[in-house]
């Protein structure tokens, strides 16, 4: 019996040790000043910043890249917009990939916003086929959860 105890302890430790993986997310800016967060910057854009995000690997949650491909997030903003900042922080706080489009002084982008959301209200958020305007943390979280995005990590601080 004493010989089995170390093997059992080892098996329990191995089974309860999560796979740790890391993802690098880069912040890209295109020629029009639109910001997006991706694994690499597309042609015609430059890298503004980079962040290594570590988390649990394995099959414990949804595959973020598959969810993002099926339900991409686009955030329409203007500079000096508190509601836009709050929305951006809500998305960034969940470490989600999204494309940010600055609609100020850009008629083409304003038309895109109008087509996507039905108006010119910012922030405008498109999550897959779900459209939100203005800032509501509950509505954003509900739309993200409904699209299959991973829930925010538990932390001791309110969001």
Task: Please report, for the domain that includes residue 105, its CATH number.
Answer: 3.40.30.10
Rounding to the nearest 10 degrees, give the CA dihedral for residues 40, 45, 51, 57.
-20
Q: Number of folded domains in the chain?
A: 1
Domain containing 99 equals 59-147
Q: Is residue 12 part of a domain?
A: no
How many residues are recorded in the chain? 159
Q: Identify whether 123 is preceded by a cis peptide bond (ω within 30 of 0).
A: yes
Q: Is residue 97 part of a domain?
A: yes
Query: pLDDT at position 80, please?
Result: 95
Sign of the CA dihedral running 159, 113, 26, 150: positive
Residue 21's pLDDT band (cuts 50, 70, 90): low
Task: Give which of 75, 65, 57 is closest to 149, Cα–Cα.
Answer: 65
Q: Is residue 15 part of a domain?
A: no
Structure tokens at 110: 């304003």
pLDDT in tens, 59-97: 556 688 899 999 999 999 999 999 999 999 999 999 999
Model pTM above 0.75 = no
Angle subtended by helix axes 137-147 and 82-93, to nearest 10 = 40
Q: Is residue 157 part of a domain?
A: no
Q: Is residue 43 part of a domain?
A: no
């Amino acid at each position: 019996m004493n010989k089995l105890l170390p093997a059992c302890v080892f098996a329990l430790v191995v089974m309860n040790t999560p796979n740790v993986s890391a993802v690098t997310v880069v912040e890209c800016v295109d020629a029009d000043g639109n910001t997006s967060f991706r694994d690499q910057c597309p042609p015609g854009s430059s890298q503004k910043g980079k962040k290594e995000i570590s988390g649990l690997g394995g099959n414990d949650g949804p595959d973020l890249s598959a969810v993002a491909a099926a339900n991409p997030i686009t955030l329409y903003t203007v500079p000096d917009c508190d509601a836009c900042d709050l929305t951006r922080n809500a998305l960034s706080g969940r470490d989600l990939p999204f494309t940010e489009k600055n609609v100020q002084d850009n008629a083409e982008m304003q038309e895109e916003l109008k087509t996507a959301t039905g108006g010119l209200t910012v922030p405008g958020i498109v999550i897959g086929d779900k459209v939100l305007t203005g800032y509501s943390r509950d509505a954003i979280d509900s739309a993200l959860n409904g699209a299959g995005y991973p829930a925010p990590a538990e932390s001791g601080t309110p969001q």
